[in-house]
A and B are shown apart, each in its own frame.
Chain A
Amino acid sequence: MSAENTAHDNLFLPREARIIRTSRPTPSEKHFTLQLADRSVLDFVPGQILEVGVMGYGESPIGLASSPTRTDSFDIVVRTVGRVTTAINSKEVGDSLWIRGPLGHGFDLDELRGHDVLIVAGGIGLCPTRSLIQYIEDRPEEFGRFTLFYGARDPLQLLFTEDRVEWRRSSKVDYYETVDRADATWTGNVGVIPTLFHKTQHIDPDTRVVICGPPIMFKYVLIELDKLGIPRENIFVDLERRMKCGVGKCGHCQINDKYCCIDGPVFTFAKIWELEEAI
């Protein structure tokens, strides 16, 4: 993975990133498009994270939500949950955020290339996987069939409206979406994400699968994957923990003997399924 520190740098010294575009996909989420203030290109692997901060408030670990193939800018989506994310989400176009990264171990692209890929994203789990989705869209020739499952609690929580319109039309992706609870406007699938496995018939046991979502979702998706005969080493999980320092020191994100922030956040399921405390 890229950018392990070797110089006598301060690991905690952030870089300035300018906000060039924002949108509010839901009342609690804000989508930022950023550029580094020094105009350099942020080089990363889909699945890697940034520590995103506002000085005076702190930092929060946020997955990159755009593909490194799109070099003019990069995206993050931040959900307002506490003090730091509230401070981040109060920032507007022209303001700066202070970032460290890219950090952590992203998706193993070499393991995905040449194979069918299924991405299962629940809720805000679509944000870090969007980096990989865009990557596959930009380089479809490197991958086999691409299937995407996305689910949210209700229609108001669905993110990336423009993207979803495009995915429905696109020949590059088989896109399925669902909501746990419908409202009067909703005409699509209703039910939790695992129910989408019954909507598609084309999942080959050799498919590489990526899962990102709330902890409860993992268990039920893994049951479905087991039924399909997909081996654990072909399943990649993107985990969430309290990744405070992002460089494997502060201890908050430890899962057993792994640090989520440097050994993950993307792990193969084979590597962690025996680790107590992981899922």
Chain B
Amino acid sequence: MSAYFIEARDFEPWVDGLRESMRVIGPVAKRKKFVFAEIESACDLRLDYDVTILPPKKVFFPPKQQILAFDANSVSDCIDPVPTVLLGVHFYDVKGLDMTDFLLRERFEDWNYLAQREATTIIASNVQAIGPRAFWGSVGTEMVPRGHDAFLTRVCDGYVLETLSDKGEALAGLEKFRAATEAEIAEAEKVNAEVMDKCSELMPYSSREIATRVRESFSNEELWDDLAMDCFSCGSCNIVCPTCYCFDVRDSWNIDQTTGQRTRYWDACLTREFAAVTMAGGQKENFREHHASRFRHRFMRKAAYLHDKLGGPACTGCGRCSAACTANIADPVRVINTIMGVEQ
């Protein structure tokens, strides 16, 4: 739509201005790492972060979300979106949100997610520091980030705000913004282009090639046993993933033992019981009993199964799983490059 410029000294007052009308969530420091959290003062905002512990998906799909409330005679839903600005989302996390937007909308629309999504304005921001395990420069490059309302880029004297929707345009309607000059727009483009080559890890294959080869490797038991050898089935790779959206649903009672709630919790397909069904006599039929089959399922899903639906891999290259893995085996760069290197 349009490009605006705001001077560095006006930026924090602008963010504090946004806070007056709605909740603002952005990256803040948590010890040596970063998390998305509600901004209490614009000076807490850390747009120089490398990667957050959890992706911003949690704003729409929290780790624990009440979906129903009940009493003795009735059941009601709990959809109650809060108007929000989500500020400072890196482009790879924008891609992740675009995927969960699609997946939670396709066929059956999940308004427990979509209502908060629609009540939120997303301002993406340029990557100023690179996570140690990031490989977003080389994965799913055909997937264009979309779904955000504006894109903020730090340039030398301030910020260029490119607006991409009416919601984004509304943000710049404040007096501190002026139209960006061509030189400022060009500088912002240069900043965003240059960062793409700076990840230390590289996955040098096309998504289509990867999807095909990963799919073909399904029956190579030896390969998957080897790749998953040290897996603890802890599910950390699932929990930090921007495109994982599996969940469990559990009921609980309030202390009155009459009212209560149905709540969904993030779940993880790497955990042992994920695909288990209880049969007669309390026996379990586990449809993915071995840790290697669960590890394989995750990679099949990210690289192959969801590829056709999404037009690219369900992986953004954020590197969170690589860093979170207890056994240091989840790194998609290691796994995919190994599969691509195997003679088939």
Contact = CB atoms under 8 A, between A and B. Distances in A.
Interface string B256-282: 000010101001010000111111111
B253 A12 contact: no
A5 B107 CA distance: 8
B247 interface: yes
A236 interface: no
Contacts of B103: 249
A68 to B, nearest CB: 21
Contacts of A244: 248-249
B205 interface: no
A247 interface: yes
A262 B110 CA distance: 14
A249 B247 contact: yes
B283 to A, nearest CB: 9
A249 B275 contact: no
B112 interface: yes
Interface in A223-252: 240-242, 244-245, 247-252
B277 A242 contact: yes
B246 interface: yes
B108 A81 contact: no
A56 B250 CA distance: 8
A82 B77 contact: no
A277 interface: yes
B116 to A, nearest CB: 13
B75 A14 contact: yes
Nearest to A244: B249
A126 to B, nearest CB: 14
User: Which of B78, B108, B248, B293 has the most chain A CB atoms closer than 10 A to its own CB?
Assistant: B108
A252 B275 contact: yes
Given A11-B110, A55-B260, A98 B304 contact: no
Interface of A (DSSP majority class): loop
Interface string A84-97: 00000000000000
Interface string B234-264: 0000000000011111111100000010101
Nearest to A157: B280
Interface stretch (A113-121, A198-206, A253-261): A253-261
A8 interface: yes
A164 interface: no
Given A241-B277, A244-B248, A252-B246, A12 B108 contact: no
Contacts of B293: 277
B43 interface: no
A256 B248 CA distance: 19
A249 B108 contact: yes
B250 A81 contact: no
A244 B111 CA distance: 18
B67 interface: yes
Nearest to A29: B280
Contacts of A254: 269, 275, 297, 301
B281 to A, nearest CB: 8
B268 to A, nearest CB: 9
Nearest to B274: A252
B75 A82 contact: no
Interface in B97-112: 103-104, 106-112
Contact of B305 (A16, A124, A240, A256): A256
A248 B70 CA distance: 24
A251 B269 contact: yes
A60 to B, nearest CB: 9
Interface string A1-31: 0001110111111101000000000001000
A250 B246 contact: yes
A255 B110 CA distance: 22
Contact of A57 (B67, B251, B274): B251
A14 B69 CA distance: 11
Contact of A55 (B70, B297, B304): B70
A251 B267 contact: yes
Contacts of A262: 107-108
B285 interface: yes
Contacts of B70: 55-56
B214 to A, nearest CB: 12
B15 interface: no
Nearest to A14: B75
A56 B253 contact: yes
Contacts of A276: 218-219
Given A55-B70, A250-B267, A11 B260 contact: no
Contacts of A6: 109
Contacts of A55: 68, 70, 75, 251, 260, 262
A227 B246 CA distance: 41
B280 A250 contact: no
A59 interface: yes
Contacts of A188: none
B288 interface: yes
A245 B249 contact: yes
Nearest to B69: A55
Contacts of A58: 249-251, 262
10 closest A-B pairs (Cβ-Cβ)? Answer: A251-B246, A257-B305, A10-B77, A55-B70, A247-B108, A81-B278, A82-B278, A12-B67, A5-B108, A242-B277
Given A82-B282, A245-B247, 12 more contacts: A4-B107, A8-B111, A11-B109, A55-B70, A241-B287, A248-B107, A249-B103, A251-B245, A251-B269, A254-B301, A262-B107, A276-B218
Interface of A: 4-6, 8-14, 16, 28, 55-59, 79, 81-82, 98, 124, 214-215, 240-242, 244-245, 247-257, 262, 276-277
9 contacts: A5-B109, A10-B111, A13-B68, A248-B106, A251-B247, A252-B248, A255-B287, A256-B300, A257-B308
